[in-house]
Amino acid sequence: MSTRPGRPYLPPEWAPQSGVMLTWPHAQSDWAEDLDAIEAVYIVLAREISTHERVLIACHDEDRRTIVGRQLAAAGTNMQRIALHVAASNDTWARDHGPITVNMNDEWRLLDFRFNGWGEKYPHALDNAITERLHEAGAFGDTRLEAIDLVLEGGSIEVDGEGTLLTTTRCLLASNRNSGLDQGELADHLRQRLGVERILWLQHGDIPGDDTDGHIDTLARFCDPRTIAYVTSAQSQDTCYAELKAMAQQLEGFRSATGEPYHLVPLPSPAPIYDRHGKRLPATYANFAIINDAVLVPTYNDVADEQACERLASCFPQRKLVTIDARALIRQYGSIHCAVMQLPAGVLP
Give DSSP secondary structure letters for 298-313. EE-SSTHHHHHHHHHH
Q: Are 216 and 250 in contact (CB under 8 A)?
A: no
User: Which pLDDT score is estimated for 101?
Assistant: 98
Crossing angle of the two packed helices 35-50 and 62-74, in degrees rounded to 10: 60
Cα–Cα distance, 190 to 134 (Å, whole number) = 24
Cα–Cα distance, 146 to 161 (Å, whole number) = 21
Residues of the chain with pLDDT under 70: 1-4
User: Which pLDDT score is estimated for 325?
Assistant: 98
Sign, Cα dihedral of 76, 81, 85, 90: negative
Cα–Cα distance, 114 to 112 (Å, whole number) = 7
Burial class (CB in 10 A: 0-12, 13-18, 19+), 321: middle
CATH architecture of 17-344: 5-stranded Propeller (3.75)
Cα–Cα distance, 108 to 90 (Å, whole number) = 27
